[in-house]
A and B are shown apart, each in its own frame.
Chain A
């Protein structure tokens, strides 16, 4: 019988299943971080349980780490305690930890692929909703809560109800200046913040095949903002080339053997999806969110909508509330919205190619007066490579702050937060109320749109700008 990519990987990982019940699924990689793991380790300790497979478990510190110099002690006492707890837990249970002193430290969803830990055909979980990122390699990857972290630590398995499967077929060429981020936001607007709930999304079609691995990660990363716990893309030669030679990836003949298997990981002709969405990529403009969910988004050439445009009374009320929170008047052109801050970072958009693209916009220009802009690389590896390629210099000369890696202002658990009322062009993934700081106003955009906004002091249509 013809099978989808998801079904192939799923069936390969079912350890046990009762008729009509959820499957006990084996987990090939368990990534953990300082914020959602302490209570899980505490649970293990209380029940006198061990970590079943420390060799399949990898830890990093990312959520609340400072992005200022690593030579200084962590000034936030609670954050320091949480990091110390992770260090203690990893030492006690024999888990590899990429701590602040490690050259491989970084955001969990950036370092997993970078180190070759994330591979096609695997099941991957992490106590973070953006774990969907790893699906870009053709794996089943999804976020879990702390109880599930504890369960995976103890058993290396997880109980999961098999989701329905949706294909999102994307054809057509993205315009110059339009990125995977714009594509993802456009899709979220189309299917809604809960359109993917209960589904795993397989992204397919010529446009997806044309994306590089960083772009595919951006696309899969944002699946959760449409409600889908899991997004995935079939591996191809780009995937295989990306992984070759990575630190933890299989080596030599083992790699060749694996690659041979990875090439079989695709949806069969005639396989049936539970739902199908078709997207034409060619008319998509750069996207800018104007509200407090990622689906509240429009073209950069558009205007802030009027609540009356929404028929559903609950949605209308939500739009009214969002506009009030965002301090925006209906009918305002997006390009007339002035910004105070720019954040280029996060597991969505802080990989090397994101920074390269943004640097092309910034090169030879200056951050607008009154705007504070920062770049937070996704990992220390990205940071090093960006410095070697001269990107850091370009950003710094333009007036950007160049920081150490971490989740930073995407969720504002460290000192990198917006002040109440501050308006930010952000390459992150959530524009929820208070996400980047209580009272802060977030507009989600692509890295090049954020870079251009930093220079202009307001949103601009980056397609009109000259860059290589």
Chain B
């Protein structure tokens, strides 16, 4: 995962609550076994009609927003299915940050694990951004280090983010490598657990256990 750097991007407004991950990437595209190429399927049923032609009334298809890299939406963005494909699709399409009133928990975790920054702002701030991005062309600069978003004219929004997540995003760290630094504690826990809760380890060895190698 790449470290998150300060950038300036064009904003596209998706003015609705409860944008679920079924909309972000519909199920017919979950059969792929790689992480690449999901950008083509982003908001597929909203972006394309039955014949696969772009729907002109969908905001991402409007020429003005073609180069957008910041998506702004309302409450409970990313609700529903846990599919991480939704995050891969946003990133692959070119979205680097999503601004919303609130995000669903699983989606939130999936996003930061892939370097997609999610910014929670207050409803009236989101309202303002949606209005500006709809009525004119809005560019925002996002600085994660300072936890600030600003417009070209200087209007500024501050956001909160957990220290732990901020560090991982800024450094682009591999979560597993960090965890494995604590391996001795995991081993210690496993030893303790085996003594405390022996019943928690499944009793019946699998009849047709797969062979390794």
Q: Which of A76-84, A202-210, A276-284, A378-386 is found at the contact surface with chain B?
A: A76-84
Q: Choose from B74, B182, B208 the contact partner of A24 (Cβ within 8 Å).
A: B182
Contact A434 B180 (CB under 8 A): no
Contact A90 B193 (CB under 8 A): no
Q: Is residue B2 within 8 Å, beta carbon to beta carbon, of the partner chain? A: no
Contact B31 A78 (CB under 8 A): yes
Collect the chain A residues with CB atoms within 8 Å of residue B201's CB: 55-56
Q: Is residue B7 within 8 Å, beta carbon to beta carbon, of the partner chain? A: no
Q: Is residue A389 within 8 Å, beta carbon to beta carbon, of the partner chain? A: no
Task: Tell me how far the C-beta of B24 lies from the nearest C-beta in chain A, rounded to whole angstroms.
Answer: 11
Collect the chain B residues with CB atoms within 8 Å of residue A42's CB: 33-35
Per the bound structure, the CA–CA distance linking A163 and B108 in Å amounts to 14
For B35, B81, B209, the residue with the greatest tally of chain A CB atoms inside 10 Å of its CB is: B81
Q: Is residue B176 within 8 Å, beta carbon to beta carbon, of the partner chain? A: yes
Q: Which of A140-148, A369-377, A396-404 is found at the contact surface with chain B?
A: A140-148
Per the bound structure, the CA–CA distance linking A355 and B183 in Å amounts to 46
Give the number of chain B interface residues (Cβ < 8 Å).
Answer: 68
Within 184-213 of B, Cβ neighbours of A (below 8 Å) are at 185-186, 189-190, 193, 197-204, 206, 208-213
Per the bound structure, the CA–CA distance linking A308 and B148 in Å amounts to 38
Task: Tell me how far the C-beta of A150 lies from the nearest C-beta in chain B, rounded to whole angstroms.
Answer: 7
Q: Choose from A94, A197, A413 the contact partner of B76 (Cβ within 8 Å).
A: A197
Collect the chain B residues with CB atoms within 8 Å of residue A56's CB: 201-202
Per the bound structure, the CA–CA distance linking A119 and B199 in Å amounts to 10
Q: Given A24-B179, A412-B27 in contact, is the A121-B197 Cβ separation under 8 Å?
A: yes
For A42, A197, A318, the residue with the greatest tally of chain B CB atoms inside 10 Å of its CB is: A197
Contact A413 B110 (CB under 8 A): no
Q: Is residue A45 within 8 Å, beta carbon to beta carbon, of the partner chain? A: no
Give the number of chain A interface residues (Cβ < 8 Å).
Answer: 90
Per the bound structure, the CA–CA distance linking A198 and B35 in Å amounts to 28
Collect the chain A residues with CB atoms within 8 Å of residue B45's CB: 433-434, 438
Contact B76 A227 (CB under 8 A): yes
Per the bound structure, the CA–CA distance linking A155 and B28 in Å amounts to 31
Q: Is residue B54 within 8 Å, beta carbon to beta carbon, of the partner chain? A: no
Task: Tell me how far the C-beta of A326 lies from the nearest C-beta in chain B, rounded to whole angstroms.
Answer: 15
Q: Which of B12-20, B89-97, B138-146 is found at the contact surface with chain A?
A: B12-20
For B23, B84, B211, the residue with the greatest tally of chain A CB atoms inside 10 Å of its CB is: B84
Task: Tell me how far the C-beta of A414 lies from the nearest C-beta in chain B, rounded to whole angstroms.
Answer: 10
Within 52-76 of A, Cβ neighbours of B (below 8 Å) are at 52, 55-56, 63-64, 76
Q: Choose from A81, A82, A117 the contact partner of B202 (Cβ within 8 Å).
A: A117
The 9 A-B pairs of least Cβ separation, nearest first, read A145-B110, A96-B206, A147-B113, A145-B84, A38-B33, A250-B199, A258-B199, A78-B31, A194-B76
Query: A21-B164, A39-B35, A145-B107 are known contacts; what are 7 more A-B pairs with Cβ within 8 Å?
Result: A15-B185, A24-B182, A147-B110, A197-B104, A227-B76, A227-B105, A250-B203
